[in-house]
Amino acid sequence: MVTSAPNRHIGIMGGSFNPVHYGHLKVASDAKRRLALNAMCIMPAAQSPLKTQHSVSAEHRLAMLDLAMTEFPELQLDTRELEREGPSYTVDSLQELRQEMGSDATIYFLIGDDLLPTLNQWSRWQVLTDYAHLIVANRPGEFLAIPSEVAAWWHDREAPLAQLSSLPAGCVSRLECLLVDVSSSEIRQSLKSGERETEMIPYPVMEYIRHHKLYENLSQTEAVL
């Protein structure tokens, strides 16, 4: 977890990481370098309000992230959402982080552009930028159209990426990152079908999945979502 200090630049990537894969890790690492961050944190959700209950426990997902970090030591873990009871609301986590870091720190919250079409379903999504900049990393594929209310909100806050480092929060911008054409849902479907080898997951994580026989008995709904 990051520590408070004046003028620090902190990145956060949230998600279920079910399982973590190179798409997550390489984008987070690239964002740390491109944004010249003091720290880039991976923040696993205990339970996303917009997803079904995970059959793979938070303990397993955290263990896989711990193993993945051995290959990406430049990244850190932030476990606040696993330590908090109930659904994991991003706005609560960013508010907590802002209180910890103080008003001068620059905080970036990183999401993939596949999440923009459903941003208006997030709790109190309009105030996310009260606590952090929202950075949208490009992802492969085609996605649903962005709702008009999200597009209008974005337009009012958009700023060039280079300007954000001088502000603690309040803006939105896009970041062209390294792309890995894979998703957690695709990996879950492959593992459910019996495929036990994939180059999209760090080797220690794949060994952990094999040892604990994860993803073998998923419902079809969870395999896809």
Full 3-state SS string of the chain: CCCCCCCCEEEEEEECCCCCCHHHHHHHHHHHHHCCCCEEEEEECCCCCCCCCCCCCHHHHHHHHHHHCCCCCCEEECCHHHHCCCCCCHHHHHHHHHHHHCCCCEEEEEEECCCHHHHHHCCCHHHHHHCCEEEEECCCCCCCCCCHHHHHHHHHHECCHHHHHHCCCCCEEEECCCCCCCCHHHHHHHHHCCCCCCCCCCHHHHHHHHHHCCCCCCCHHHHHC
Instruction: Give residue-wise pLDDT tens across range 106-142.
Output: 999 999 888 889 999 999 999 999 999 999 988 665 6
pTM: predicted TM-score of the whole model, two decimal places: 0.87
Q: Write down all domains in the chain, each with its CATH number in brackets.
A: 9-181 (3.40.50.620)
Condensed to tens digits (0 to 9), the pLDDT of residues 46-76 reads: 876 656 566 689 999 999 999 999 999 999 9
